Structure 1
Amino acid sequence: MSEPLRVLMVEDQADLREMIGTALRDFGIDVHTANDGPDALKVIEESGEFHVVFSDVNMPNNMSGLELSAHVAEALPNARMILSSGYARSQLPPLPDNVDFIAKPYRLRQLVELLKGTSPTA
């Protein structure tokens, strides 16, 4: 039996963080949560390896998802980074090559497939 997928979800809206976290756990994903970039770095330091870090692009407390992705690339070189935004990708700054993107609103199935590394279906 393989180990469950370990995901760190960074979401500043508590209700959304709880709802998505619960739904992902129902898919057998080991979800840890953080409410902003600095909190995510603390969770990474305390909890070790994650397979995927999933964050909104626009985050409070002076650290965007893009800035967080640079820290994740350094702290967790084997982890995948996924950023999400309500803005179209063309409206965002260029994303690093190692960062995947999912537009809001997304369907839960799309997110699960992206987290698991399978190609999202329309």
Structure 2
Amino acid sequence: MSNVLFVEDEADLRTLMFEALSDQGYTVTLARNGREALLALGGEVTFSHVISDISMPEGVTGIDVANQAAQMQPGVRIVLASGYQRSQLPPLPPGTRFLSKPYRIRQLINALQDL
């Protein structure tokens, strides 16, 4: 079973992606921001994938989440998304897949399966 941590500050997108990923057979944990994501990563669930927006409120970015996820749960596969171009962003952690927002559900599913 694939456990996905989906981190997104936009409530509508969180709900939509929860339903879409659940329909694809993933078990989904939602986080509203980076701080919630770090709490989830430190919990009892082992995640196969972390999907996170890069720009989030409260001082913990998606890049911070990705770096912590790689340390806390080795082997986790990470997808980072942003409305910014990749060239406008700081370097992403090695092995991280990038998606430009807005993305289609199929693009996200393909990214999860490609990792």
TM range (shorter): over 0.9
Question: What is the CA–CA distance in structure 1 between the aligned matches of 2:27 and 2:86, rounded to whole Å?
Answer: 28
What are the Cα deviations for residues 57-107 of structure 1, in whole angstroms up to 9, with x where unaligned? 101111111111111111011101110001111111111212110111111
1:110 aligned to which of 104, 107, 111: 107
**Within 5 Å, which residues of 2 pair with 1:63-102?**
63-102=60-99
Shift of 1:30: 1.0
- Give RMSD over aligned pairs: 1.2
The aligned counterpart of 1:13 is 10
Question: What is the aligned residue count?
Answer: 115
Question: What is the CA–CA distance in structure 2 between the aligned matches of 1:6 and 1:117, rounded to whole Å?
Answer: 16
* Structure having the higher Rg: 1
Instruction: Compute the TM-score of the two structures, normalised by the length of structure 2.
Output: 0.93
Question: What is the CA–CA distance in structure 1 between the aligned matches of 2:103 and 2:13, rounded to whole Å?
Answer: 13
Instruction: Compute the TM-score of the two structures, normalised by the length of structure 1.
Output: 0.88
Structure 2: segments with no counterpart, 5+ residues: none
Question: What is the CA–CA distance in structure 2 between the aligned matches of 1:81 and 1:90, rounded to whole Å?
Answer: 19
Structure 1: segments with no counterpart, 5+ residues: none
Contact map agreement 1:5 1:116 (CA 8 A) in 2: no
